[in-house]
Amino acid sequence: MSREYFGTDGIRGRVGQAPMTVDFIMKLGWAAGKVLSQSSHGQVVIGKDTRISGYMFESALEAGLAAAGLDVMLLGPMPTPAIAYITQSQRASAGIVISASHNPYHDDGVKFFNGDGFKLPDETEAEIEAVLEQSLVMVEPEQIGKATRMDDAKGRYVEFCKSSIDFHTSLRGMKLVVDCANGATYHIAPAVFRELGAEVIEVGTSPNGMNINHQVGALHPESMRTHVLENGADMGIAFDGDGDRVMMMDAHGEVKNGDQLLFIIARARLAGGQLKGGVVGTVMSNLGFEHALQEADIPFVRAAVGDRHVMEKLVQNDWQLGGESSGHIICLDKTTTGDGIIASLQVLDALIRNKQTLTEACSEMVVYPQTMINVPISKPLDLNRSPQIQDALQAAEKELAQSGRVLLRPSGTEPLIRVMVEGRDASQVEDLAARLAKTVTDAAQA
């Protein structure tokens, strides 16, 4: 379904440039209020990450929603999955997150949850866009919405996270480096792990509005590695700016991505008789992950990139476990969306039950070499209509034969074409990726 503003994960862009302007975001709040709540004075929950622009857009959304006759519950800085949880627990009409996830501070975005805590379907986003074309008409003065703040949001979510693992599971004796990317988990994640008994070394827990994701967090594991090795930690756990994705690191400083973490969770669920159906990955999931699941007799299907697409496949198959190599992991028996803290707790719980280190658990899955190159583009590029790109793609696939994969796709959040090559031979993979990236660059500049 064609949409002008909504991408793969809400609306996102550079602050001050369309659509991330104050006037647009205010009207977005009004339009969303008109669509998402059929009753006057329904309630919408709003949370945000730690970007400086969050305060501005929070006020704009509040004004738009109030003009549509809806009450607003403000949570302040909270992880994206926390908004989903509190929206559901408060029986709110909808939840709104102000965040650009893993992007730099100068970007921001808005994404929505329905009253059940799930991302909006394409059809609902299209309805909101249709209402955006109308003139903003306020409700009558006596119908204007009110705004309140939830002072205990942090405590509620900390307890929810802790309840996702067995009451008797303790992290006592574990030394963990916890990197919060100077983002929304900065005051949540350390508390969760400490209250479960772990010794926590904090990284990226001093947000200033402009340092979110800057050389810290899931996309920048170098800082976590330094602290893990210097402190002799058992593991590192790193989140992105809004806390819906996680990467972990073993005691040797080796990063373990979403595929590996998902494999650990799936194997533990299988062993405990708790795995319902199979696992949903994406077109980016590593071939080694797929083969390891096959060897364990765990069904596996691929979805398009994006946790909303993973969710669609989970619902279609009536399964509970899915995710992406980027660290978005969905455990539908625990929560309604990708949740970095809850996913990491499932991994820790599995390690404790199996008396394994992270290194040992990950050794049961062979990761095939994979190279991804992001090619910047200044205008839309139709990959299917470029003969030179299609020729290069077919040549690469022929060279890999059955021992690898090639994937070219536009990013849903940034002006990039992602070039991914995967196979058994690392040097071949790197060479093919470089050649394909050059072909895409040439086509983009033509």
Block residue for tokens 């003139």 = 135
Choosing from 53, 101, 326, 386, the catalytic residue is 101
Beta strands of 216-316 (E only): which ranges?
235-239, 246-249, 255-256, 279-282, 300-303
The amino acid at residue 359 is T
For residues 190 and 202, is the Cβ–Cβ distance under 8 A? yes
Task: Tell me the pairing of strands 370-376 and 416-423.
Answer: antiparallel
**Closest alpha carbon to 76 in 202, 175, 199, 207:** 207
For residues 223 and 205, is the Cβ–Cβ distance under 8 A? no
**Closest alpha carbon to 340 in 171, 217, 210, 233:** 217
The amino acid at residue 27 is K
DSSP string of 154-213? HHHHHHHHHTTS-TT---TT-EEEEE-TTSTTTTTHHHHHHHTT-EEEEES----SS-TT
**Closest alpha carbon to 1 in 154, 120, 168:** 120
For residues 223 and 216, is the Cβ–Cβ distance under 8 A? yes
For residues 223 and 306, is the Cβ–Cβ distance under 8 A? no
Based on the residue annotation, tell me whether 39 is a catalytic residue of this protein.
no
Give the Cα separation of 79 and 376 in Å (integer).
29
Helices 153-162 and 340-354 pack at an angle, to 10 degrees, of 30
> What is the set of active-site residues?
101
